């Protein structure tokens, strides 16, 4: 979960990292909280806000009024703007980059520093790798102050700035570890004309799997304004999430909507990706993506089946999973059949293909044959099952090699 | 002996009295794995399918000398359990628990490195050396495992637990057996990723080819290409990259926590292109894995 800039800056301030003077507003106000010029920053959980019009300067009170009004009524990178961080304008002499992330190859936290701040670090690392300095550190001991100084001194920074910057980098590393962050980035950290070093922007992303030990942050994550990836869930997807919440048994409902005629009941994680690719490769048009797994209850499978069939334009459904060992084939079959019957359709005409081999398959296949549904055992591959499903819908397969 | 474990490996299960653990302990024993002890604090003295339960790893180690441990405890307790195993000398730790905080995983791996121990997972189904040993949940009940897996020369490493069995089943159906099959785990940071496993497979005399099941997200596949070239890996590798459609939907997370395309990083298309440049075979369809293997074996 990505914190908003002002939330991240509150954490920095608590730790003693200087930030510009600022205040958050959520409604149009007549005058800024301090003398103009000031900076207006849209508080949305996304990067590159400046390019998207999410960071603007107000030179006088009139500008302040209409620019805040404009910002609060619009969106930035797909997010509605509900809050604006109004900050004093800082006279910047020089900008630096610092960040902490996990290196998934070294399996260790890594501190990154560059004397070229303010721009995208990954781009910089590609174009000018010599200006990006990295150092791994122990997750148990944290980034020691001398280690922070070594990185910054290797980057060619000395004097008072070295001391100030390395202090901030070491503090950022403790913020990263203490808050279970997966990204902690200050870009830019600036040397001002007044001689101080401060964080002008900040990005903190907190590990969703660790939110249970940060209850204050967990509360923020329930804020409805934060949608994943700037892509709002459709009502079709939300209903599927509700179905998944009907009970705690297994997963049946992580659904993403597409605009096609073939409903998909697919799982688990890797096999869903495989099956979806295969349907597309054979020229099929999926109505949805989803992931089934962990032996979901008959109720959940039934409701999900009904839900997918209720989508306008869905002609048939394909049920495809990898060879299952935990999920029971018979329970899947019962859920799917029940769901179809409750919509008043005939299972034999509605199921384009049922390919779920594995645990309790004999019992499952018995149920399916009772309703005249064609099923596949483990000798039929996921690809072949997808091909048959597309063929039943009369789809062409132009991409067939 | 394939890699990491065999029929003589003494295995302990931490969290053995949990519902899932009770069930996979039975499956492991029936498959022939040597499950010598279980640990659940406060339940010492009980037994699960004849396996004695202890309060601490220390007691279990003293009495039975396990070498490997399967960790099946709630996410918040995984770090404690894994460190307990590592500090008591366990050399192979398989973490089947999901949703482990990333910091905890990294801390476990830091300690494991200092001890020279191997960690598989978190968020893994475990591993199977067909007809020899099964550690964790992979493959399910013994009759299912026997149907899907058979011994032979091909190693499998998969970012998806379910697809580990799916691919083994595909190979078995075509008469191609497996040496070691490992579900590496779906998290961004896991103890043994492709970069750790491919060199082990390369050194294993029984393994003559490697199948990798890959997903979008992360840079492990890209790094593997460099490793294959720099280390001169000679064992043929066949990669299947699932989730090609994910490239068109950057920022959306699919399935596993690690399956997300961010900017230009981690795309399926990028991985495929790098694989090809490094001489790694790319199977466009699952079935192609079989035909490619038949050509290289």
Determine the residue among B255, B288, B291 to mutate to test chain A binding: the one whose Cβ has the most chain A Cβ atoms within 10 Å.
B255
Q: What is the pLDDT of residue A269?
A: 87
The pLDDT tens digits for B131-188 are: 999 999 999 899 999 999 999 999 999 999 999 999 999 999 999 999 999 999 999 9
Q: Give the residue among A272, A250, A240, A269 at the shortest CA–CA distance from A355.
A: A272
Which residue did the predictor score with more confidence, B262 or B30?
Answer: B30
| Pairing label, strands A92-103, A108-114 | antiparallel
Q: What's the pLDDT score for residue B263?
A: 64
ipTM > 0.85 (yes/no) = yes
- Whether B186 and A140 lie within 8 Å, measured CB to CB: no
pTM for this entry: 0.94
- Residue A398 has a pLDDT of 46
Return d(Cα A396, Cα B174) in angstroms, integer. 29
Beta strand B237-241 with B281-283 is parallel
What pLDDT sits at residue A228? Answer: 47
* Subunit contact B242:A323, Cβ cutoff 8 A: no
A319-343: average pLDDT: 95
Q: Which residues of B touch A268 (CB under 8 A)?
A: 160-162, 255
Closest residue in chain A to residue B217, using alpha carbons only: A104
Helical H segments across chain B, by residue range: 19-31, 57-64, 75-87, 102-115, 142-148, 161-173, 194-203, 220-231, 268-277, 286-296
The torsion angle over the Cα atoms of residues B75, A215, A54 and B251, rounded to 10 degrees, is 20
pLDDT digits (tens, 9 = 90+) for A265-281: 999 889 999 999 999 99
CA distance A327 to chain B (A): 10
- CATH for B10-296 is 3.40.50.261
CATH number for the domain formed by residue range(s) A21-88: 3.30.1490.20
- pLDDT of residue A229 exceeding 60: no
Which among A108, A109, A291 is the nearest to B255, CB-wise?
Answer: A291
- At CA B27, angle to CA B24 and CA B31, rounded to 5? 140
> In this complex, do B110 and A324 lie within 8 Å of one another by their Cβ atoms?
no
Tell me the per-residue pLDDT of B228-240, one tens digit each, with 9 for 90 and over: 999 999 999 999 9
Percent of chain A with pLDDT over 90: 75
Distances (CA, A) of A88 to A31, A41, A97, A339: 13, 11, 21, 59
Structure tokens at A224: 């409805």
Chain A residues whose CB is inside 8 A of the B122 CB are none
Nearest to A212 among B76, B144, B188 (CB): B76
**For residue A232, is pLDDT > 70?**
no
Per-residue pLDDT, A33: 85
A358-382 residue pLDDT tens: 999 999 999 999 999 989 999 999 9
Task: Convert A224-240 to b/e letters by CB count within 10 Å (16 or more is b).
Answer: eebeebbeeeeebbebb
Q: Please tell me the distance in Å from A369's CA to the nearest CA on chain B.
A: 22
> Which residue in B140, B173, B259 is closest to A379 by CB distance?
B173
What chain B residue is nearest to A108 in terms of C-alpha separation?
A: B106
- pLDDT confidence tier of residue A399, bands split at 50, 70 and 90: very low
What is the maximum span of chain B, computed from C-alpha positions, in angstroms?
Answer: 57
| Interval A180-204: pLDDT, tens | 999 999 999 999 999 999 999 999 9
Q: What is the mean pLDDT of residues A226-232?
A: 55
Task: Give B94 or A30, the one with higher predicted confidence.
Answer: B94
CA distance B4 to chain A (A): 20
The mean pLDDT value of chain A amounts to: 92
Q: Where are the domains of chain B?
A: 10-296
Choose the mutation target among B242, B248, B264 for the interface with A, i.e. most A CBs under 10 Å: B242
B195 pLDDT higher than 50? yes
Average of per-residue pLDDT across A296-305? 96
Q: Do B219 and A381 touch (CB under 8 A)?
A: no
Span of A50-54, A229-233, A357-361, B3-7 with lowest mean pLDDT: A229-233
CATH of domain A92-221: 3.30.470.20
Look at B165 and A325 and tell me if their CB atoms are within 8 Å. Answer: yes
Contact at 8 Å (CB) between B134 and B110?
A: no
Helix, coil or strand: residue A143: coil
Which of A107, A282, A400 should one mutate to test binding to chain B, selecting the residue with the greatest count of B CBs within 10 A?
Answer: A107
Tell me: pLDDT of A401 over 50.
no
Residue A234 has pLDDT above 50, yes or no: yes
Could B252 and A109 be called an inter-chain contact, meaning their C-beta atoms sit closer than 8 Å?
no
A274 contacts B242? CB cut-off 8 A? yes
Does position B277 have pLDDT exceeding 90, yes or no? Answer: yes
Tens digits of residue pLDDT in A47-78: 889 888 999 999 999 999 999 999 999 889 88
Tell me the pLDDT band of A227, cut-offs 50, 70 and 90. Answer: low
* pLDDT at position A340: 97
Judge whether A179 and A202 are in contact, CB under 8 Å: no
The alpha carbon of residue A193 is apart from the nearest alpha carbon of chain B, in Å, by: 35
Cβ–Cβ of A207/B102 closer than 8 Å?
Answer: yes
pLDDT at A226: 65
Give domain A233-392's CATH architecture.
3-Layer(aba) Sandwich (3.40)
Interface touch A273/B259, C-beta < 8 Å = yes
Active-site residue set of B: 256
Q: Is the pLDDT of residue A222 over 80?
A: no
Coil vs helix vs strand at B287: helix
- pLDDT tens-digit map of A115-144: 998 878 878 888 888 999 999 999 999 999
Q: Which of B169, B193, B245 sits opposite A280 (nearest CB)?
A: B245
pLDDT at residue A396 greater than cutoff 60 = no
pLDDT at A400: 43
Tracing tokens 């690809």 back to the chain, one arrives at A383
pLDDT interval class at A253 (50, 70, 90): confident
């Amino acid at each position: 979960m990505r914190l908003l800039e002002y939330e991240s800056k509150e954490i920095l301030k608590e730790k003693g990292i200087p930030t510009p003077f600022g205040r958050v507003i959520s409604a149009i106000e007549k005058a800024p909280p301090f003398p103009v010029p000031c900076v207006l920053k849209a508080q949305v959980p996304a990067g590159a806000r400046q390019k998207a019009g999410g960071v603007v300067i107000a030179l006088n009170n009139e500008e302040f009024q209409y620019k805040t009004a404009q910002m609060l009524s619009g969106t930035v990178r797909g997010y509605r703007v509900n809050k604006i961080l109004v900050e004093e304008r800082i006279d910047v002499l020089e900008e630096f980059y610092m960040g902490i992330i996990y290196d998934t190859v070294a399996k260790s936290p890594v501190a990154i520093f560059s004397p070229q701040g303010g721009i995208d670090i990954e781009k910089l690392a590609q174009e000018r790798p010599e200006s990006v300095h990295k150092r791994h550190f122990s997750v148990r001991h944290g980034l020691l102050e001398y280690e922070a100084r070594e990185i910054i001194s290797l980057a060619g920074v000395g004097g008072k700035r070295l001391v100030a910057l390395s202090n901030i980098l070491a503090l950022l590393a403790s913020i990263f570890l203490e808050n279970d962050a997966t990204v902690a980035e200050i870009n830019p950290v600036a040397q001002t004309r007044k001689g101080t070093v401060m964080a002008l922007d900040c990005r903190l992303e907190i590990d969703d799997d660790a939110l249970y030990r940060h209850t204050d942050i967990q509360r923020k994550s329930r804020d409805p304004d934060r949608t994943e990836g700037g892509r709002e869930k459709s009502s079709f997807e939300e209903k599927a999430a509700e179905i998944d919440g009907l009970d705690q048994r297994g997963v049946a409902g992580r659904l993403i909507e597409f605009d096609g005629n073939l409903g998909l009941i697919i799982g688990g994680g890797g096999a869903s990706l495989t099956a979806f690719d295969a349907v597309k490769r054979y020229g099929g048009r999926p109505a949805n993506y989803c992931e089934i797994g962990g032996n979901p209850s008959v109720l959940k499978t039934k409701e999900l089946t009904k839900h997918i069939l209720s989508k306008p334009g869905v002609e048939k459904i394909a049920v495809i999973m990898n060879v299952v060992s935990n999920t029971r084939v018979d329970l899947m079959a019962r859920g799917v059949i029940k769901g179809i019957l409750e919509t008043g359709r005939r299972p034999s005409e509605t199921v384009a293909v049922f390919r779920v081999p594995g645990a309790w398959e004999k019992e499952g296949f018995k149920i399916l044959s009772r309703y005249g549904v064609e099923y596949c055992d483990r000798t039929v591959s996921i690809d072949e099952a997808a091909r048959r499903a597309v063929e039943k819908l009369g789809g062409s397969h132009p991409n067939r090699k | 002996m394939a890699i990491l474990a065999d029929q003589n490996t003494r295995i302990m299960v931490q969290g053995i009295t949990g519902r899932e653990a009770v069930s996979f302990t039975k499956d492991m024993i029936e498959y022939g794995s040597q499950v010598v002890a279980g640990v659940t604090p406060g339940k010492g003295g009980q037994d699960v399918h004849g396996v004695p339960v202890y309060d601490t790893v220390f007691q279990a180690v003293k009495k039975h000398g396990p070498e490997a441990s399967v960790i099946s405890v709630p996410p918040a307790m995984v770090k404690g359990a894994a460190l307990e195993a590592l500090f008591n000398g366990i050399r192979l730790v398989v973490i089947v628990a999901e949703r482990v905080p990333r910091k905890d995983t990294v801390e476990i791996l830091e300690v494991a490195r200092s001890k020279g121990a191997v960690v598989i997972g978190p968020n893994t189904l475990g591993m199977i050396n067909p007809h020899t040993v099964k550690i964790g949940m992979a493959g399910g009940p013994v009759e299912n495992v026997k149907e899907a897996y058979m011994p032979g020369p091909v190693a499998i490493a998969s970012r998806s637990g379910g697809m580990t069995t799916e691919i083994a089943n595909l190979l078995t159906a075509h008469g191609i057996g497996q040496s070691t099959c490992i579900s590496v785990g779906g998290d961004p940071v896991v103890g043994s990723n492709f970069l750790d496993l491919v060199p082990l497979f390369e050194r294993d005399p029984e393994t003559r080819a490697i199948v990798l099941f890959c997903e979008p997200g992360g840079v492990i596949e890209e790094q593997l290409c460099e490793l294959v070239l720099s280390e001169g890996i000679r064992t043929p590798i066949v990669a299947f990259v699932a989730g090609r459609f994910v490239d068109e939907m950057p920022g959306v997370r699919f399935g596993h926590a690690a399956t997300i395309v961010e900017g230009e990083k981690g795309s399926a298309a990028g991985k495929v292109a790098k694989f090809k440049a490094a001489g790694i075979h790319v199977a466009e369809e699952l079935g192609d894995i079989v035909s490619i293997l038949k050509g290289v074996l």
